[in-house]
Amino acid sequence: MRYDNIDKKFQESEKLYRMLFDYSMDGIILTDPRDGGKILSANPAACRMLGWAEEELIGKGREVMFDLEDPALSSLLDERARSGSVRTQLTYRRKDGTTFPGEVSTAFFTDDNGEPRAVAIIRDITERKHAEQALSESEMRFRTMFEAHGAPMLLIEPGSGKIIDANDAAVRFYEYSREQLRAMHIDEINQLPPEEVTAERYKAVERGRNVFIFRHRLASNDIRWVEVYSSPVKIKGQPILFSIIHDITERKQAEEALRNSEERYRMLFTNMTEAFFLGEPIYDKDGKPCSYRFLEVNPAFELQTGLNRKQLLGKTIHEVVNKPNSLAIEEYGKITLTGKPTHFEIFSKELNRYLDGYIFSPENGKFAVIFRDITERKKLEEQIRQRAEELEIVMDVAPVAIWIGHDLQGHKITGNRMANEYYEAETGENVSADAAPMRRFFHNGKELTANELPMQQASLKNIRVHNMEVDVLLPSGECKTFLGSASPLHDTEGHVRGSVGAFTDITERKKAEEALRKSEEHYRMLFTNMTEGFLLAEIISDEDGKPHDYRYLEINPVYEYSTGLKKEQVLGKSILDIVPNVSPILIKKLGETAVSGEPTYFEIFSQIVGKYFDTYVFSPGKGMVAATFRDITKRKQAEEALRESEEKYRTIVETASEGIWTADHEARTTYANEKMAAMLGYTQEEMIGRPVCDFTSGEDKIIARRNMEKREKGIDESYEIKLIRKDGSPLWAFANGKALFDKKGKFTGSIALITDITARKEAEAKLKETLDNLEKLVKERTAELENAYNSLKESEKSLAEAQRMAHLGNWNWNIITDKIYWSDEAYRIFGLKPQESGINLGTFLNYVHPDDREYVNNAAKKALSRGSYSTDFRIILADGEERIIHAHGEVSFNEKKTPVWVRGTIQDITGQKKTEEKIRRLADIVESSNDAIITKSLEGIITSWNKGAEQVYGYSADEILGKNISILEPASLRGEIERLTQKIIDNKDIKHYDTLRLKKDGTLINVSVTLSPILNSSGKLVAISAIARDITERKKAEEALAKLEKIRIKEIHHRIKNNLQVISSLLDLQSEAFSHLEVCKVPEVIEAFTESQNRVISMALIHEELYKGDKIDTLDFAAYLRKLTEDLFSSYNLGDKDINFKLDLEQVDLGMDTAIPLGIIVNELVSNAFKHAFPDRREGEIKINLSRIEPTVAGREIPDPDKHCMEKDSFRYKLGVSDNGKGIPEGINLVNTDSLGLQLVSLLVEQIDGCVGLKIDNGTEFTIWFNNMET
């Protein structure tokens, strides 16, 4: 088991390594750096990149991929030789002679044989180069526009304000050479004081524009007013401030002249480059501006609009333009009225130009407009906007995460789409470690503080952080590794204002590197320590291409041990050279696999070493074959022993404690063991040849024939049957029947295992006679099942604990010095303190159990010649405790083949051995249980099925395993198993769940099911265990008991009703017997008898309804009230009075403890209404209402609120009894009244824990709030 796990882990590791190698999108090439870079292997991606097949590449030097004269290649080789690894870009050459740029990461390593090797991971960066070229071309177009534009333009570093570049127009404007401008800072030109610069920036922010007004000094010391349009752009990845400068000195001078004097205004008006016109609004009758009249225009207006001044002055806009801009008319009127100037930019459809304008009111009732043509500027701005949009798109689609730190301390950090995906963040979310500490960061195993992160280091220290790896624990719990760099961002004054970082996710790369390393380690460890022999060879074919021999390429130590062939003796040689008489079957099998490529599995006996081998052969490459060998000699010997044990079968059958009975296809007895014959009172000879039906009678003969028909159909089952002994007495038997077929599948008869259950049947008969003990027995049996279940769970817990506590130590033995080195765990296994001195072979053997000492010593000695050993033995610790140890050792030899070292491991497998014993016992418990114990996958597939399940459901394990468990689900309960499974997945308990299931023969059975989760070692739910018990007979017994109980209770109700009827009749007779007495002629006496009689009848009526109804403990109170009022109505002699009943009753089921008091209450209240509500009236009405109410309604309806009532639980029912009679006296106290009936009402309401309310308004109305009391 232990080595199987190692083999499995090796295969998984090797599979992962191979998958990474084969399916990597990057090319991977392994080379020998000593031999001109000779290629040893290449993955498919590398072959696709270079256009070669792997077979073509292997053995070639690096010249197949590179121009050896390329200086970049020489630099790479020098750097790799110096540092051991390097990453750079090279030009690669394909097979067809074409080239492509590649990014390569290469490093040295040493293989398991100590040979130097080099690995190169290549990535084709052609597309990236194209993108870089496109970016370069884009920047070139920008540069062309920049140089050729007529407006002065500057590129400025945002942080320092240093001028990066200036176009020719700027050189002409500022009168400095380009070199002089590039050496200057913008502050040397800008003449506004810092506070005015700040004010201008705030003004721009308030107005939502990026336009600034400054004074710039020229080389001639002239000061010019300029309008600067500034926006950030990125050039070669660096943020740059792109500024367009317009000389607005003339406009500023014109505005100043306009304010100071009319003369200067006129000069400016005439010579200004901006268009100007003066107008007055025209208003309609409602006072709204509807047009305007031209009062003055300047030459620039004429030039820009093409309209003549003489044609405009004095005319309205409607006389000049067919459809003038109504919004402009409204705006001119508004500014004229308010006097508040405004600035605007509009597109004039009439002029097909963009205009930048300023509107103000120079005097009351007039407005003036100054505008200029900014069409060219708008075009430039659109180009800049498109450029910015392109950059934004590039940032969004860039395959790297880009984060921007918006402040010096890194309190606010946002990223692009890829950054948000990496960090599991929402768009625009602040992912700063200070603002949202939901992520943890690590570097080289150390957790980083917020200020140690790359972005914060860049901004706080004003440094650039290059290629820093950071492990990030994300909110989801996933850990990722990022590689990236960060740089500070500066404002125009050169101060750090934030930072920017770019990172890539290298999690998968790191995993791949670690997996590759582990795979190599696992492969080598497995190859050396695997328990199977391993052979790698190349096939040797004859002239016809038919395999006839093979040559050894590699073998492992186990192969040497198993075959006696040493590695140094066989490598490079053929098998026929070494073992001429080798089995031709082996050569044939290996050759077939090498030719077809299909793996094969076979067993073979080696005449050379006299052993059986279990062999698996596969082809790792063309003409190559690999094979694993496992010595199965002991298994073969065990199989032989098993065959010998079959001979003992007859003896076991004859001495079995149960009957064994076989019959042929005609149901004639062919064999009965001595126990079977004794059960029936016959000899074995008397039974042979007789039909099975001869031993049954009556209906059991039919059952026996049907059972044999099932056997013919291959149906095996367990069943009970009544047999007849020779003396005529019955023999109840439990039979496990199984069909017998020959090798051709022909039915030959059946065999049955017969158990005498006569005593059990007699006990069952007695059990049926004592039904009162059935429930107790069921509970006891259920408790036994729970105890067994708990015991099973406890055993599982012990098993898990035992597995967890396994120990493993390693050791080295210097044979020359006889000194032994033990690891700390090895000391602890032997109960010693770590690193105690004096450990040698003799000391070690002293701990070995005396009975095992010679065996262990011999195993060690044999290992000195064979090279290794692996064995289990016992040790005795100093305190006398005995432990079981597994030891494995490998011997090292010097050049003279003399053993000098033994290295190995020891493992305390005591717990494992105990666990195996517990597992065996658990398996025995499961298999011997009469309950069905089943395991199913989460998809519902049955994976285990014990004997109890076969007995309960009728399916054998062979029939049911691999099928869906829904096969046991009746059609009426489809989906129930799936719902129960979901509850287990949701971590809910399902114990003793009673339901129906379907047997193989189609019959329905009652089962009690308990479901339990099965978890793997990591706690993950992997399967579900089900324990089911057939409770069909128990259910039948419970149903019979329930029917008897229902009949018994109904009989009780019937008898109570009859007794109450007798009491009523006695009261009636007593009333008649006393009627002649003077005292009884008083009406109150007769009424007292009548009232008592009615009370008894009201109670009797409840028991009568319960007796007649389907329920035994609840009553339809609405139906009861209808019957009660009908009887009351007939019991009173109303004479000529016309009194009607009005019933508004909602169906309500009440228990007896509530129904009986309420029935008496209604009886009292209705009787009082009959007697007292209508003394002088011939007509009247009595109403009874019964309804459910919301719990909060009663609190609002109870009058004056009664504290006693309000302190009780919320009521859910309301009963009302009212009449429209004369009413009862006001202020009456229901508790202290002289009326026995009302006192009784008060007491009964209190008995049911209810509340009563009285309302006297046009009659009398009693309201009772109550709950249904549990009976």
For residue 1, being part of any structural domain is answered with no
| Domain identity same for 1207 and 1141 | yes
Measured CA to CA, the distance from residue 816 to residue 414 in angstroms comes to 68
Q: State the alpha helices, DSSP H only, in 805-849.
A: 824-829, 841-847
| E strand segments, 37-176 | 38-42, 85-93, 99-110, 116-124, 153-156, 163-166
pLDDT, residue 1115, reads 77
pLDDT, residue 176, reads 92
**Are 922 and 963 within 8 A, CB to CB?**
no
Residues 52-93 pLDDT 10s: 998 998 988 888 888 888 898 889 888 888 888 898 999 999
CA 520 to chain centre: 32
For residue 815, being part of any structural domain is answered with yes
**Are 873 and 885 within 8 A, CB to CB?**
yes
| Domain identity same for 219 and 76 | no
pLDDT confidence tier of residue 787, bands split at 50, 70 and 90: low
Residues 1167-1207 pLDDT 10s: 888 777 787 766 888 899 999 988 766 556 665 545 456 55
For residue 525, being part of any structural domain is answered with no
pLDDT of residue 158 exceeding 80: no
pLDDT, residue 1170, reads 79
Taking residues 314-342, report their average pLDDT.
88
Measured CA to CA, the distance from residue 276 to residue 255 in angstroms comes to 12
> In CATH, what number is assigned to the domain containing residue 38?
3.30.450.20
pLDDT, residue 1198, reads 67
pLDDT, residue 281, reads 93
| Domain identity same for 1138 and 1262 | yes
For residue 1240, being part of any structural domain is answered with yes
Rg for the chain, CA atoms, rounded: 52
pLDDT of residue 1039 exceeding 60: yes
Residues 915-925 pLDDT 10s: 666 666 655 55
Residue 1149 or 389, more confident: 1149
pLDDT, residue 941, reads 92
pLDDT, residue 544, reads 84
Q: What is the dihedral of CA 5, 9, 14, 17, to 10 degrees?
A: 180
pLDDT, residue 653, reads 62
| Domain identity same for 199 and 259 | no
Residues 292-307 pLDDT 10s: 999 989 888 888 888 8
Taking residues 918-946, report their average pLDDT.
76
pLDDT of residue 1271 exceeding 50: no
For residue 1242, being part of any structural domain is answered with yes
| Domain identity same for 1121 and 1249 | yes
For residue 561, being part of any structural domain is answered with yes
Residues 506-560 pLDDT 10s: 888 888 777 777 777 766 676 777 778 888 899 998 888 889 898 998 888 888 8
Tokens linked to 1158:
């309420």
Measured CA to CA, the distance from residue 676 to residue 723 in angstroms comes to 12
pLDDT, residue 1215, reads 92
Measured CA to CA, the distance from residue 184 to residue 186 in angstroms comes to 7
Residues 844-901 pLDDT 10s: 788 888 888 888 888 877 877 778 888 888 988 888 888 888 888 888 888 888 888 8
Single out the residue in 751, 769, 787 at which a domain terminates. Answer: 769
* Residue 587: domain span: 531-640
| Domain identity same for 240 and 300 | no
Tokens linked to 790:
């708990």
Residues 159-201 pLDDT 10s: 778 898 898 888 998 999 989 988 998 888 888 777 776 666 5
| Domain identity same for 409 and 504 | yes
Sheet of 868-876: strands edge to edge? Answer: 819-822, 807-814, 899-908, 882-893, 868-876
Single out the residue in 247, 274, 302 at which a domain terminates. Answer: 247
How are beta strands 1179-1188 and 1138-1145 bridged, if at all? parallel
pLDDT confidence tier of residue 778, bands split at 50, 70 and 90: very low
pLDDT of residue 1133 exceeding 70: no
Burial group, residue 6, by CB count within 10 angstroms (0-12, 13-18, 19+): middle
Single out the residue in 1030, 1058, 1093 at which a domain terminates. Answer: 1030
pLDDT, residue 1095, reads 58
pLDDT of residue 661 exceeding 90: no
| Domain identity same for 903 and 943 | no
Q: What is the dihedral of CA 1193, 1195, 1201, 1205, to 10 degrees?
A: 120
How many independent structural domains does the chain possess? 9
What single string gives the DSSP state of each residue in 845-886? HHHB-HHHHHHHHHHHHHHHHHSEEEEEEEEE-TTS-EEEEE
Residues 91-141 pLDDT 10s: 999 999 999 999 888 888 787 677 888 888 888 888 878 877 776 666 676
| Domain identity same for 261 and 359 | yes
Q: Which residue has the tokens 């379907």?
A: 998
Give the range with max mean pLDDT: 167-176, 648-657, 793-802, 1167-1176: 167-176
pLDDT, residue 507, reads 86
Q: Compute the mean pLDDT over every residue in the chain, rounded to the nearest whole number.
A: 79
| Domain identity same for 617 and 661 | no
| Domain identity same for 78 and 104 | yes
Taking residues 437-457, report their average pLDDT.
87
pLDDT confidence tier of residue 291, bands split at 50, 70 and 90: very high
| Domain identity same for 1119 and 1261 | yes
